[in-house]
């Protein structure tokens, strides 16, 4: 059952309740066991502290013990990833149109270092949290990481493994291919051992539509893994955007020429941004992916937006 009326207060309550859960001594993790053996699925919320869509998925699964009653096999871990950033977001964020400062505490939890012999080096808030979650991540056969975007956008699947069939979610008609190659660091799902990874940008933060997509995605993955009774649905075609470049400004003097919109098509030769060094000009027809609604990045040195070519499936 999907819930259309989730308020910020309800999401905050889901967050607070989940912070009190613990599995194997790790806070913010709840495990639900089915009556028969089966896959271990992890559903991840708030990898970024200002992206509460995953809490809507927790709500639909936990409300009235719905998942507990419907789970046919296996086990589901509901994991609140960035507890510290999420807490700051719920306690401090006033202007919900601009929450980028609550994305993380010390470093982006979706840009992790490469583990060395199973260990993560470093001592940030996010590294410490990932380190305590690693043993749980290692148990997963499949993982769904639920995100959202700062600017209005259609929901987008992030392709993790081209060999893997995509998650079918009604209302999700876009898939981004090749983005992992352009991230400065490893996506969090890469830490989840051999698990099949599914990452979904559900739409913009706190939009009611994004909260619905997150709920739908959680149920559809459970169905796809045969962990709950499948509901019929017609597969919808995906438009695939092949990411070929992340735009990272060389220094803080740079800014875009204008605000860009999600999936906007720019012709070859477009002057994208200027600063004290070389201007940034795009060399081919490109679609704009995940542009923030501003001219300069909040976090200098991060990927500010992506450029893609377009394919149809």
Residues forming a β-bridge with 287: 265, 308
- Smallest gap from Cβ 50 to Zn ion, in A, equals 8
Tell me which residue has its CB nearest to Zn ion.
147
- Smallest gap from Cβ 309 to Zn ion, in A, equals 23
- Smallest gap from Cβ 206 to Zn ion, in A, equals 13
- Smallest gap from Cβ 51 to Zn ion, in A, equals 5
Find the helix or strand (DSSP H, E) in which 147 lies: strand 142-149
What angle do the packed helices 125-137 and 83-92 form, to 10 degrees? 130
Take residue 108 and report the two structure tokens written for it.
């982006």
Chain-centre distance for alpha carbon 18: 18
Q: Which is nearer to Zn ion, 48 or 129 (CB)?
A: 48
Q: Tell me the C-alpha distance between 5 and 186, whole Å.
A: 34
CA atoms within 13 A on the CB side of 281: 8
Q: Compute φ and ψ for 275, nearest 5 degrees.
A: -155, -160
User: What does the binding site for Zn ion look like in residue numbers (CB under 5 A)?
Assistant: 48, 51, 147
CA atoms within 13 A on the CB side of 115: 19
Q: Which is nearer to Zn ion, 147 or 177 (CB)?
A: 147
| Cβ contact 307:289 at 8 Å | yes
- Smallest gap from Cβ 172 to Zn ion, in A, equals 16
Q: Which is nearer to Zn ion, 129 or 147 (CB)?
A: 147
- Smallest gap from Cβ 43 to Zn ion, in A, equals 15
Q: Which is nearer to Zn ion, 156 or 228 (CB)?
A: 156
- Smallest gap from Cβ 7 to Zn ion, in A, equals 21
Q: Which is nearer to Zn ion, 34 or 291 (CB)?
A: 291
Take residue 124 and report the two structure tokens written for it.
């940030």
Q: Tell me the C-alpha distance between 104 and 100, whole Å.
A: 8
Strands 174-177 and 156-158: parallel
Q: Which is nearer to Zn ion, 73 or 98 (CB)?
A: 98
Q: Which is nearer to Zn ion, 87 or 147 (CB)?
A: 147
| Cβ contact 104:82 at 8 Å | yes
């Amino acid at each position: 059952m999907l819930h259309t009326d989730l308020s910020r207060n309800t999401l905050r309550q889901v967050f607070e309740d989940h912070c009190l859960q613990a599995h194997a001594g790790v806070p913010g993790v709840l495990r639900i066991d089915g009556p028969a053996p089966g896959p271990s699925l992890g559903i991840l919320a708030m990898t970024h502290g200002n992206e509460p869509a995953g809490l809507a998925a927790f709500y639909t699964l936990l409300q009235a013990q719905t998942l507990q009653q419907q789970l046919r096999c296996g086990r589901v871990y509901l994991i609140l990833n960035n507890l510290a950033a999420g807490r700051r977001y719920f306690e401090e964020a006033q202007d919900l149109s601009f929450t980028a400062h609550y994305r993380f505490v010390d470093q982006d939890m979706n840009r992790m270092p490469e583990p060395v012999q199973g260990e993560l080096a470093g001592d940030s808030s996010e590294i410490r949290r990932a380190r305590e979650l690693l043993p749980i991540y290692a148990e997963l056969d499949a993982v769904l990481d639920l995100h959202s975007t700062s600017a209005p956008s259609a929901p987008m699947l992030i392709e993790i493994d081209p060999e893997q069939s995509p998650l079918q979610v009604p209302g999700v008609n876009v898939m981004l291919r090749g983005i992992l190659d352009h991230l400065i660091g490893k996506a969090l799902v890469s830490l989840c051992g051999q698990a099949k990874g599914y990452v979904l940008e559900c739409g913009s933060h706190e939009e009611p539509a994004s909260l619905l997509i997150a709920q739908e995605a959680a149920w559809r993955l459970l169905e796809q893994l045969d962990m709950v009774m499948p509901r019929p649905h017609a597969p919808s075609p995906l438009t695939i955007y092949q990411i070929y470049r992340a735009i990272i400004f060389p220094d803080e003097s740079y800014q875009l020429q204008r605000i860009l919109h999600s999936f906007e098509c720019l012709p070859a030769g477009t002057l994208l941004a200027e600063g004290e060094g070389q201007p940034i000009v795009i060399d081919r027809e490109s679609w704009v992916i995940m542009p923030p609604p501003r001219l300069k990045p909040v976090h200098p040195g991060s990927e500010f937006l992506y450029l893609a070519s377009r394919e149809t499936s």
